Amino acid sequence: MAVIFLEEATIDKMLTLVPANSPQRKVWDASIKKLNLARWEEELFYQWLCFSKDFGPDTLEYAEKVVKTMRGNDINVKELTSEEILMIDLNENFINSGVFAQRIMRAIYVCLNKADISLAVNLRNLVGAFVVKDIVIPGIGIDKENLYKVFYLMLCFNYIEILPDKSRWYIFGSSLLLFSMRIGYDLEEIMKRAVLSEINFYSRRNICLDCAVFLSENETVVGRKDNGDNATINFWIDTFRMYSKNNFGGVELTNFFNDEKYLSKCSGDERKLIRAVIQLYTHLVNGFLILPDGEMDKLNKMLDEGKIEKPTVRQIKDDIEETFTTNSSGEFLDIDGILLKLDELAKKFNDPKIAELYYFDEQQGKFVWKE
């Protein structure tokens, strides 16, 4: 499985609520050892039980049932197939059964174990009907509601490279964003995978900016304002933008959170969430996620120090004209090669405008240089 968590999603982490030397913990440790979970299985197991607060006998029995289900060892539970999913009527009563949830659980295991992308996409669309479209299923309690959200996020984040834009925007603009952070998902690492799956520098930039817009408009409540009223993600981002005067650097973020004027009514957990949200927003808009492993910072520093000299528009045009051949009308023959070259320069010099220098003019019906 891809690295998508801030910390390792381990059973030990899940069991931190159980005193280390208690009889209850010893029973859990012995039972988990017998299950002999592979590392990736442990991550799945963690996500399905991460909201558990009670680690008594009933929860342990459920945990053992989860492992039996996901491994396909329960003869009464068979994974959903793509063919079945496409035929499901969301009004049917069976979707409210525990067996239905187990079949989804088993199918997710199969997706990840066998890299079945087609099944993963169909499952995501099915579970998304419960979560995204807010379909009300009679009799669903809060635990099952959370379970379907967990299913959905697993299918979105493990396959983030093929997640449709609208699904990504929904997560960033809804309560699922904070929900995923509370589970422990590393949204920056996940977004980096989505961004770097694009070759085109400009497309990477658009992915980040689109998500930043939905994040900045998110009305999910987190923390309180100084007057005691509920505050939203939208409020905190707007407040930080005004405080930093749209300068989205690490120093401004640190200073903001050290200023008790703004977060005095927030708990420690709320402050952590708010900081993570604002940092995610700043990294979406300042280009941090577009180039991997801090390359953006290195590039900007080298440009500032003059170690790399960014070419002028005239120099870029001259280089293109010398490198690429034209026909008798003076039009370039290898348009794709020119566009690829400009994309590479845009990425190298952290300047999306370079990629736009040569474009298709609909009025003239041909590619032309931007004046």
Residue 127: CB partners within 8 Å, gap ≥ 6?
104, 148, 151, 152, 155
Average pLDDT over residues 226-253: 87
- In a 3-state reduction of DSSP, which class is residue 112? helix
pLDDT for residue 304: 57
What value does the mean pLDDT take over residues 111-116?
87
Angle between the 176-183 and 187-196 helix axes, to the nearest 10 degrees?
Answer: 110
* pLDDT exceeds 60 at position 247: yes
132 compared with 328, residue with greater pLDDT: 328
Token pair of 177 as six digits: 């964003």
Q: Which is more confidently placed, 91 or 131?
A: 131
56 pLDDT band, cuts 50/70/90, is confident
pLDDT of residue 11: 77
What pLDDT is recorded for position 191?
93
Worst-scoring range by mean pLDDT, 46-50, 170-174, 278-282, 315-319? 46-50
- Listed in sequence order, the residues at least 6 apart from 51 whose beta carbon sits closer than 8 Å to its beta carbon are 143, 146
Specify the pLDDT at position 21: 81
Q: How much of the chain, in percent, has pLDDT values that exceed 70? A: 86
Distance separating alpha carbons of residues 47 and 49, to the nearest angstrom: 6
Taking residues 222-243, report their average pLDDT.
Answer: 93
**CA of 126: how far to CAs of 104, 129, 169, in Å?**
10, 5, 18
* pLDDT higher than threshold 50 for residue 81: yes
pLDDT cut 90: percent of the chain above it? 25
Please check the confidence at residue 86 and state whether its pLDDT lies above 90.
no
Q: In this predicted structure, what is the pLDDT of residue 25?
A: 86
Residue bearing tokens 């929900």 = 179
Q: Quick one: pLDDT at residue 115? A: 83
Q: Token pair for residue 57?
A: 């006998």
Return mean pLDDT, the chain: 82
- Pairwise CA distance, residues 202 & 325, whole Å: 25
User: Residue 139: what pLDDT?
Assistant: 42
Residue type at position 122:
N
Two tokens, residue 26 = 């010893």
Give the model's pLDDT for residue 144. Answer: 59
Pairwise CA distance, residues 202 & 290, whole Å: 9
* Cα three-residue angle 54-59-65, rounded to 5 degrees: 160
Burial class (CB in 10 A: 0-12, 13-18, 19+), 189: middle
Buried/exposed code over 152-165 (b: 16+ C-beta within 10 A; e: otherwise):
bbbbbbbbbeebee
Phi, psi for 174 (deg, rounded to 5): -130, 180
d(C-alpha 315, C-alpha 320), whole Å: 9
pLDDT score of 141: 41
Q: Is residue 135 very low, low, confident or very high in pLDDT (cuts 50, 70, 90)?
A: low
- Return the pLDDT at 254: 85
CB atoms within 10 A of CB 232: 16
pLDDT tens, residue by residue, 30-49 = 888 888 888 888 888 888 77
Q: What is the mean pLDDT of residues 142-164?
A: 83
Q: What is 268-287 written as a DSSP string? A: HHHHHHHHHHHHHHHHHHSS
CB 270 within 8 A of CB 223: yes
pLDDT of 229 > 90? The answer is yes
Task: Dig out the tokens for 249 from the structure.
Answer: 């650097």
Q: 252-262: string of b/e by CB count within 10 Å (b at 16+)?
A: bbeebbeeeeb
Grade residue 51 by pLDDT with cuts at 50, 70 and 90.
low
Which DSSP state fits 174?
A: S
Q: Which residue stretches of 18-164 are H helix?
A: 23-35, 39-49, 57-70, 82-87, 98-114, 117-131, 142-157
Q: Which residues are 221's β-sheet partners? A: 232
The DSSP bridge partners found for residue 5 are 185
Q: What is the C-alpha to C-alpha distance for residues 21 and 3, in angstroms, rounded to an integer?
A: 31
Residue 80: pLDDT above 90? no
What's the CA gap between 236 and 219, in Å, rounded?
Answer: 10
Q: What pLDDT is recorded for position 140?
A: 42
Separation of alpha carbons 25 and 17, rounded Å: 10
